[in-house]
Amino acid sequence: MPDSDNTIRRYRRSIRTSFFLVLFLVFVGGVVRSTGAGLGCPDWPKCFGLWIPPTHISEVPDKYWNDPLSSVNGQIIFNPVKTWIEYVNRLIGVVIGFAIFLQFVFSVLYGPTTVGKRFSLLALFLVLFEGWLGSKVVSTDLKPLVISLHLFVALILGCALLAALFYASNRKIPVSAFKNDKSVERVLWLTSLLIFLQFFLGTEVRSQVDVLFRRFDFEFRDLYVQQLNWSFYVHRTLSILVLIMMVLQILRFAKRFPVVNLYQVITPFVLTLFLILSGVILVYFDFPALVQPFHLVLGFSIVCAQFWLILNHRFSDPSSNGSA
């Protein structure tokens, strides 16, 4: 039994590592977007046709001087800082690919449940699809729709890893912990719906900001807010409703579950407070580049935290503690 427990812990550790690497990549992707480094490498998987990116314009191969993704009127667009930001983003993606492949191997060798193995396999397929989608982000010249799809696939990948982590234990059984408390269930699902809607609206707003970045070449940021459409104002207002629902969610859960489990409902609430703070900074301080990645990863983390709450309190045995 000790050997079995150790192997399962190793498997769960590999899933956690993969999940936090995905979070880190989302943050780095936010840096890429906020600094305009998305086309720092105009091709994929190489960068300017090289496995090691150039550090000086003289190192850029001649054919890229007339490439529509890397030049304008025969003049090369080259910024070594942006090039290496994008390339590091890709390297982290490769590391994540290996990490997720490793957790899949561990699931085959040590996974205690069939469901957990299926989610580990799903994560492997998703990371491969995400890599392919990353190439399309470059080849489509950073189309907002493709970038948003890239983010949503990353979100599904993160949730798949959380599901694999959840089912990587024999203590979990698929029964409802709320079968006798419909009011708690309604609050849980309504809050979850609002969180996902808020994430979707945030993605729409980010797409509009990306367009403004390119239109104004990352200048005149004080003019961006007045250029945004209705989705920004709905996104801003809805954040208050989400916060209220999270308070109600905490109150509902506090009456039913021990203190040891309350972190699962408090975590989304605390993350939302920081998300709102970062949103205020973005709007009133002209979209500082440093804050945008934090805003993105906070929104991503809130969806994942709420998904973890659903897993632990909708599909757990009420007698289990649901710890990670």
pLDDT one-digit tens code per residue, 249-268: 998 888 776 655 788 889 99
Same domain, residue pair 164 and 264: no
**Domain termination residue (choose one: 132, 149, 170):** 170
**Domain termination residue (choose one: 153, 170, 187):** 170
Instruction: Convert the chain into a string of H (helix), E (strand) and C (coil).
Output: CHHHHHHHHHHHHHHHHHHHHHHHHHHHHHHHHHHCCCCCCCCCCCECCECCCCCCHHHCCHHHHCCCCCEECCEECCCHHHHHHHHHHHHHHHHHHHHHHHHHHHHHHHCCCHHHHHHHHHHHHHHHHHHHHHHHHHHCCCCHHHHHHHHHHHHHHHHHHHHHHHHCCCCCCCCCCCCCCHHHHHHHHHHHHHHHHHHHHHHHHHHHHHHHHHHCCCCCHHHCHHHCCHHHHHHHHHHHHHHHHHHHHHHHHHCCCCHHHCHHHHHHHHHHHHHHHHHHHHHHCCCCCCHHHHHHHHHHHHHHHHHHHHHHHHCCCCCCCCCC
Same domain, residue pair 165 and 187: no
Q: How many domains does the chain have?
A: 2
Same domain, residue pair 13 and 145: yes
pLDDT one-digit tens code per residue, 263-292: 888 999 999 999 999 999 999 888 888 899
Same domain, residue pair 275 and 130: no
What pLDDT is recorded for position 300? 96
Same domain, residue pair 123 and 224: no
Same domain, residue pair 83 and 164: yes
**Domain termination residue (choose one: 138, 170, 202):** 170
What pLDDT is recorded for position 313? 79
Same domain, residue pair 137 and 189: no
What pLDDT is recorded for position 255? 73
Same domain, residue pair 200 and 147: no
What pLDDT is recorded for position 67? 72
Same domain, residue pair 92 and 140: yes
Same domain, residue pair 83 and 108: yes
What pLDDT is recorded for position 258? 63
Same domain, residue pair 160 and 22: yes
Q: Range of 226's domain?
A: 174-324
Low-confidence ranges of the chain (pLDDT < 70): 1-4, 69-75, 170-181, 257-260, 314-324
Same domain, residue pair 157 and 178: no
